[in-house]
Chains A and B, each alone.
Chain A
């Protein structure tokens, strides 16, 4: 039985700020809720902010990770609905970064009564090129290379053989002590999240969206280009596209004022 306390501990849920409107901030691939730290000061005065880490990321309970649950985004979406249920949230404005926009969409389709709107920061429903109608930006081989690079970067060379030497052969051995550095993640977990993120195609979800959505697309973003933003806008009912004068994929970190302004405007318009 998932009690409120267990979900809060499992997903390292923190609630900050105050206000009638509830915003749930969902981090993207590779990081944790700390990526919101530049945006929080701009939002916490007016809104109640629910922050969390997906299982396997940040300070979540890593033992709750299971490859079978988290090898598709549906598993991460269950984290979102679990948290909504545990805190009994409603009228949630779901602020997702990158892949979390898809996760939020899955969660809102599964439990529409919990949500009010989507705020999508640099969303992409599919990172793969699907010619001739869709170009997510990457070929399958690019993404295979990414998994290879992750192997080289995430796995400490010294403990590369440790799971073998320690025996047991289970995933428990792989889930070791993580360094405290931001964005450091267990390799098995990170690769599972990477595969779920980069090899999936959730374009079919867009027309099913039941809530209004604000799309914040960066002017220059190779991961989620303005073309991808336009595609989403066309496919998704009740969506508003804003192409921002910003560069890069982490605009909530690099351009927090811009993003906050858009969020405020969006939420004020939804009074």
Chain B
């Protein structure tokens, strides 16, 4: 293989590995702007990955599986929203419990069930795919990748231009002020979480029925935490958050490609590489920027 082919391979696989992160990051971004530092994004992705394969296997349709995965994400978000923004349980505790619960549940269920593999269809645009280096990355991908191209501007528009987004930002900055302006703070936060669940679900489902075609135990392997890191790395701006996802995706692709390129390294160490990179990136970029002022602060009317 030529060097150009190698680069094309790494870029293409980097793009594919970025997709689940980018889906989920669009969701996590919204949740955090509304003031929820949502760590159950890992549970949303893992649950969705399992759900998508289970439903795809049952119905024979990977697309229905993908939709089912998104709904699993929404379900996790719903539980999280009720527990932390209605019953007012500490959001980190809820997130940790959900992550552990979904990991245990899916690990058990996969041992007692057998699923057939399914994958959503691939878009393969002739001529364009033959463009050197970037051709395979941009024009040979499974279809949800192109859905992502719609989700990103939609997320931006929702947060920056819609009234819902304005209220969301207000809630994340100063819930008391939002409350006296007549905005239902906890309702907005629950809604933001649902959007997060939908997109994290799509991301997790894509990992299973898009990328791999099957489910294995703990297949997200902490990608949800990378998503949180990406939002922090992105200083709570969507564009930079997505750049963070691309960086982490490429790091992941490098890890997979290195052995094929003849570089021998301890594989466990390589698995740690993207996380190490996330830590370094946050150390360098995240300190100077301003987070939503009420991030991770619960709201209850009557308390100040």
Q: Do A and B bind each other?
A: no
- A interface, CB within 8 angstroms of B: none
